[in-house]
Amino acid sequence: MSDEAAVSQVLARYVRATDRRDAEAMSALFVEQGTVEMAWFNSGDPQPLGRLVGREQIAWAVANMMAPHPARGFSHHTTMDHIVTIDGDEAVIDAQFIVYNTLGADRPAAGWPAQARGAQGTVTPIEAGYYRSRLIRVDGVWRIVEHRIDLDLPVAGAD
């Protein structure tokens, strides 16, 4: 596997850990003192929202600060337009993202209507922005040193 693909897979594992609220999988992607910084990118004027330092704090935030999914609900991150730069054992990835909430419809007690076909429920975009991460290769494995989340939308309750 190329280094570019391996770095992109780290981001893919990051979004899957986020969607699954998997604190252990998330923290394993970082170096011991890795950081996560979040900001609302207010028309190019970043408004800081928070900073996490270290695997333990990152894992705690995933387990305790992210809202659990509702019954029949889940979230799906999509990332696109990855720009990966490799310089020896250091890498940077810059990618756009959109997060979607999915909510399966409650199956009616009498069953689905005869005309119902396909997936039943809703898919709603809820977040968008950029992920910018700096990684290093440690014992042959790419790990995140710094992960920045620049949101395109303001965050309620972050005041």
pLDDT tens for 84-127 read 999 999 999 999 999 999 999 999 999 889 898 999 999 999 99
Overall pTM > 0.85: yes
Q: Please, which pLDDT band fits residue 158 given cuts at 50, 70 and 90?
A: low
Number of neighbouring beta carbons within 10 Å of residue 135? 28
Read off φ and ψ for residue 8, nearest 5 degrees: -60, -35
CATH topology of domain 3-68+78-96+128-151: Nuclear Transport Factor 2; Chain: A, (3.10.450)
From 28, 147, 32, 141, select the one nearest 89 (Cα to Cα): 141
Q: Which H/E stretch holds residue 9? A: helix 3-20
CA distances from 64 to 22, 56, 122, 147, 156 (A): 11, 12, 26, 19, 18
